[in-house]
Amino acid sequence: MRRGEAGPAVQFALEVLLRMAELTDATSFVPIASAHVDGCLYEGDAVVDFVDHLTALGAKVAVPTTLNAISVELSQWRAQGVPTRFGDQAVRIVDGYLAMGARPSFSCAPYAMGHTPAFGQHVAWGESNAIAYANSVLGARTDRYGDFLDILAAIAGRVPYQGLHQTERRRGELRFVLADDVDTSDEALYPLVGYAIGLLSGGRIPVVEGLPADARPDDLKALLAAAASSGAVALAHLVGLTPEAPDVITACQGEPPSSVTHLSAARLAEVRQALSTKTDGQVDAVALGSPHFSVGEFRELAHLVRGRRMASQVRLLITTSQFMRDRAQEEGLLDPIRAFGGEIIADTCVLLSPLLPQHVRTVMTNSGKYAHYIPSLLQKDVVFGSLAECVAAAESGHVRGGFL
Amino acid sequence: MRGRVAVGGAAGPAPVIFTTDPLSLWGGFDPHSGLVIDAHHPLLGVSLSGRIVVMPAGRGSSTSSAILLESVRARTAPAAFVFQRIDPVFAIGALVAEKLYGRTVPMVIVENEQDFSAFAAAAEASWDEGGDISVR
């Protein structure tokens, strides 16, 4: 097969996959059930070169393949003031992947749209939050695939059998215990715990005890996205909540964890502070939806904003998938949010697309991932807070250090 | 000192930048300026172009591979990386660069803690195709 009988694109993919197998000491390949491609972002012309190269080779995906959030909202980018060359290059990448047979899912939360591999199934997923969710919550098996390897795996239909594909490599190594003094009713608990374990895990697999038994999928999504931003967390065992962690011993595969860390209220307060670059003053924008907002989150937001009106100088951007925006629309959740002043953006997010104008200096968010990346990628100040605090800031146009 | 050459061949001699804090290239490194942009990272504002970047592992975003490829295209890439553990996200960026542009960012693995720590005080490093490393 390597000699090219399957076509030049498969040959190209296999050559790279074989190099990755060598690097990771894998001795065999394993077939995959699906792929989620993160390499569809316009991060520069090198990505366009890569997609053009695959297109010229006649590449086609061999397994069901979803596409991550992309760099523009396809139907709206010109109206949103996205520069023409940026938009054109972003669309060219997307068209290339669609021509290879990928699905137009355009979301970093494919797992919320019914693209859910079964427990134990091998997949090749890219995008750090999607990887962590697939491994941790679904119990599917994917390694931390970087952009390019995701689509190459989709073309080849297989990956080197190594890393998190192997049972023994999924063993919990670091034990974290939520201390008694932590307020578990605080909805910001999940991104804060996630961010804390990401900082302390250094690429090893965390096991977290003490999270509320009624944590919702959206809570786990927030926790894992934050952990995959502050660290290289691709799998976290959440005791009593995720399928490979009915208890600590099972999550650690019978071996003792190499360390135990207590997450106290004081430590989480430190993390909360570290996630904000300022705590007082004017807020120019509120960004929600990293990972992409779910119907459950739209419900919560619609409930919070009903009958209220945000300050006219503030922008409220909620990023989601077309799929989820349609579901929210059917449920009548978007009207109250729009009446409040919110704008719903599909396909992309504020980190990928130039949606926030220059004059926006301070952005508030309830997402640990947005809070982590906004200062670096957008050179703006960020204030982290709960969803209710974000709504209050949108309404008043400012935050006070008091609630942080 | 010996290391395992993971990607590319010989590297350096080039100036060493050592950090114990793993860096995500996406959101951490600007492939057009060559500077570290991660507001949370101690190397914020430091240029990595042409330097041998020594850190225990990668971190964060799986788009780091695309940023590495972009920096190879823009000729702002680090001269090489030294890791304690191979980061597959960085590695794929370097492998694709080799295929697309015929040049790459060599990566060598130095697992041994004591050897790895020796880079902290190094001004310059280089290695040959067999992974024989010298630090000065």
So what's the pLDDT on residue A404? 46
Confidence of residue B67 (pLDDT cuts 50, 70, 90): very high
Quick check: B7 and B107 in contact, CB under 8 A? Answer: yes
CA distance A383 to A279: 6
Place of tokens 């390019």: A148
Q: Which residues of B are less than 8 Å from A59 in CB distance?
A: none
Distance of CA B120 to the CA centre of its chain: 14
Q: Evaluate if residue A88 carries a pLDDT over 50.
A: yes
Q: Which residues of B are less than 8 Å from A131 in CB distance?
A: 62
Residue % of chain A over a pLDDT of 70: 98
Q: Evaluate if residue A383 carries a pLDDT over 80.
A: yes
Confidence of residue A39 (pLDDT cuts 50, 70, 90): confident
Type and span of the H or E element at A232: none
Closest-CA residue in chain B for A377?
A: B27
If you average pLDDT over residues A173-185, what whole number do you get?
97
SS3 A149: helix
Quick check: A68 and A130 in contact, CB under 8 A? Answer: yes
- Joined together, the tokens standing for residue A257 give 């964890």
If you average pLDDT over residues A309-319, what whole number do you get?
97
Quick check: A357 and A338 in contact, CB under 8 A? Answer: no
Q: Which residues of A are less than 8 Å from B96 in CB distance?
A: 16, 50, 148
- Asked if B58's CB is within 8 angstroms of A351's CB, the reply is no
- Span A110-128, pLDDT tens digits: 999 999 999 999 999 999 9
Residue % of chain B over a pLDDT of 70: 99
Quick check: A137 and B69 in contact, CB under 8 A? Answer: no
CA distance A64 to A66: 7
CATH classification at residue B68: 3.50.30.10
CA distance B23 to A210: 30
Q: How many CB pairs under 8 A join A and B?
A: 135
This prediction's pTM: 0.94
Q: Which residues of B are less than 8 Å from A224 in CB distance?
A: none
- Asked if A38's CB is within 8 angstroms of B22's CB, the reply is no
Q: Evaluate if residue A56 carries a pLDDT over 90.
A: yes
Q: Evaluate if residue B126 carries a pLDDT over 60.
A: yes
So what's the pLDDT on residue A389? 95
CATH superfamily of A8-167: Aconitase, domain 3 (3.30.499.10)
Q: Evaluate if residue A47 carries a pLDDT over 70.
A: yes
Crossing angle (nearest 10°) for helices B64-73 and B88-101:
30
If you average pLDDT over residues A18-33, what whole number do you get?
96
Confidence of residue A1 (pLDDT cuts 50, 70, 90): very low
What are the CA-CA distances from residue A356 to residues A318, A345, A374 (Å)?
Answer: 12, 12, 11
Confidence of residue B61 (pLDDT cuts 50, 70, 90): confident
| Domain, as residue range, for B44 | 4-135
So what's the pLDDT on residue B58? 83
Quick check: A219 and A250 in contact, CB under 8 A? Answer: no
Q: Which residues of B are less than 8 Å from A51 in CB distance?
A: none
Q: Evaluate if residue A190 carries a pLDDT over 80.
A: yes
- Span A331-353, pLDDT tens digits: 999 999 999 999 999 999 999 99
If you average pLDDT over residues A241-255, what whole number do you get?
98
Q: What angle (nearest 5°) sits at the alpha carbon of residue B76, between those of residues B73 and B81?
A: 100
Total number of domains in chain B:
1
So what's the pLDDT on residue A6? 80
Nearest CA distance, A329 vs chain B (angstrom): 31
A125 phi/psi in degrees, rounded to 5: -110, 140
CA distance A218 to A228: 15
Nearest CA distance, A40 vs chain B (angstrom): 10
Quick check: A186 and A102 in contact, CB under 8 A? Answer: no
- Asked if B88's CB is within 8 angstroms of A148's CB, the reply is no
If you average pLDDT over residues A238-262, what whole number do you get?
98
Crossing angle (nearest 10°) for helices A45-56 and A84-99:
30
Counting DSSP H helices and E strands in chain B, the numbers are 3, 7
Query: What are the extents of the domains in chain A?
Result: 8-167, 171-273, 277-403
- Asked if A23's CB is within 8 angstroms of B63's CB, the reply is no
- Asked if B100's CB is within 8 angstroms of A49's CB, the reply is yes
- Asked if B22's CB is within 8 angstroms of A47's CB, the reply is no
Q: Evaluate if residue A197 carries a pLDDT over 70.
A: yes
Closest-CA residue in chain B for A153?
A: B92
Catalytic residue numbers of B, as ranges: 61
Cis peptide before A291 (omega within 30 of 0): yes
Average pLDDT, chain A: 95
Query: Which CATH topology does A277-403 take?
Result: Aconitase; domain 3 (3.30.499)
Tell me the sheet residues that pair with A263: A178
Confidence of residue A131 (pLDDT cuts 50, 70, 90): very high
So what's the pLDDT on residue A232? 86
So what's the pLDDT on residue A3? 52
So what's the pLDDT on residue A387? 97
